[in-house]
Amino acid sequence: MRRTHRPLKVLLAHELFPPDFAGGGEYVVSEIARHLQAVGHTVTVVTTGNPSITEYQGMRTVRLPVSRYRLNLAWRQIMELAKDADVIHAFTYHAIYPSVRAGKALGKPVVGGVLALFGDVWLEMRGPVAGRLWRRIERYLLGLPVDVKLHLSDFSLALSREIGVDRPGDRVVVPGITHGQYYASDDKAYVLYTGKIDVRKGIHVVLEIARRLPDIAFRVVGWGAGYDTVAAAAPPNVRMQRRPERREDYLAALAGARIFLFPTKVETFGLVLPEAMAAGCAIVSTSPLPFEGVRIGQDDVDGATAAVRALWDDRAICARHGKANQQIARQYGWERHVDALEQVYWRVIDARAGRV
């Protein structure tokens, strides 16, 4: 139940914000902003991009004309925006450092949101030299002295403990999905993968499974620098599609999938999974999230191929998994997420004021 406190002034800081897009983090931050505003809080989002864009779907934005990497140097701008705020909520990666510095200068509480945490997978993503550098940067940023650090899942928190960047007050606040917009079409005609096209998400596993199962239609809805390379290498039974501008088109892609294939190597949560579940898909994935379908191991092409084959050939079982997943997905709601955020905000505000 929501606590009866006065409305808060919240400054959200993230390196990108819609309509600019590079991954699921932008969607998570925009939904947090939207739902905080819906319950009466005043929200400003500081990010990068075109300064002439001062709002997005009713949410106020202040966009600094710098790259997301140079956002690390923008602590003075963030400090100026935070003077009137009750709390700064900054998200990984490039908004954390300047927000901590601004919060320290103002004596304002800073909540750190962990939207990305890759650990040793950096070595696969960027190679042995650059990967080690990015892994060190990640550890440094996640070790900064925020008032509280919020993870999206138990397994994200567990990875932070494994690599030594956890703090005693770290918490898990599970994200949500917007119920009522997802649906299942009558003709579920393909195996679907959605996400960024990179090694971390296991796109090479998706393509290899498709090669081994040429009689099954696959669909890839993705984005990222590797898109063109993957599209050129995809077998004939894979339909490639860039991430659609309209959310309705994305929802339609989910609705038409019989199986959602998500062989990711590491996630802080993986919001596409409960979205696919809400659309009635059976799941084949490495994710630790609860789902009905088949859980596979990392890079287990043989096991994943067998799982897709078995589910595809038994449509009744596949449909039962899909219906069960629709029920499981009901546990993820933005209202619950915002309720938990309000409790966190007031805890750190009260702690700064010496009331706890």
List the CATH number of the domain containing 159. Answer: 3.40.50.2000
Q: Are residues 44 and 151 in the same domain?
A: yes
Q: How many structural domains does the chain have? A: 2
Q: Average pLDDT of 67-86?
A: 97
Long-range own/partner contacts, residues 338-341 (CB < 8 A, 24 or more apart): 338/32, 338/35, 338/36, 338/38, 338/39, 339/1, 339/2, 340/173, 341/32, 341/36, 341/89, 341/173
Indicate the pTM of the whole model.
Answer: 0.94
What would the pLDDT profile of 89-116 be if each residue is shown by its tens digit?
999 999 999 999 999 999 999 999 999 9
Q: Are residues 101 and 212 in the same domain?
A: no
Q: Are residues 325 and 211 in the same domain?
A: yes
Q: Are residues 325 and 337 in the same domain?
A: no
Q: Are residues 197 and 321 in the same domain?
A: yes
Q: Are residues 142 and 101 in the same domain?
A: yes
Q: Are residues 153 and 198 in the same domain?
A: no
What would the pLDDT profile of 265-291 be if each residue is shown by its tens digit?
999 999 999 999 999 999 999 999 999
Residue 38: inside a domain: yes
Alpha carbons 18 and 246: distance in angstroms, whole number = 12
Element (H, E) at 309: helix 301-313
The confidence score (pLDDT) of residue 1 equals 43
Neighbours of 40 (CB within 10 A): 10
**Domain that residue 76 falls in:** 9-176+333-352
Alpha carbons 156 and 170: distance in angstroms, whole number = 11
Q: Decide if pLDDT at 164 tops 70.
A: yes
Q: Are residues 162 and 241 in the same domain?
A: no
Q: Are residues 157 and 201 in the same domain?
A: no
Residue 185: inside a domain: no
Instruction: Yes or no: say if 172 and 201 are a contact pair by the CB < 8 Å rule.
Output: no
Share of the chain above pLDDT 70, in %: 98
The confidence score (pLDDT) of residue 356 equals 59
Q: Average pLDDT of 190-217?
A: 96
Q: Are residues 150 and 243 in the same domain?
A: no
The confidence score (pLDDT) of residue 22 equals 87
Nearest to 58 by CA among 18, 22, 10: 18
β-pair partners for 87? 10
Q: Are residues 262 and 345 in the same domain?
A: no
Q: Average pLDDT of 32-39?
A: 97
The confidence score (pLDDT) of residue 318 equals 96
Q: Are residues 30 and 106 in the same domain?
A: yes
Nearest to 12 by CA among 332, 31, 169, 21: 31
Tokens of 28: 């998570």
What would the pLDDT profile of 174-199 be if each residue is shown by its tens digit?
999 999 999 999 999 999 999 999 89
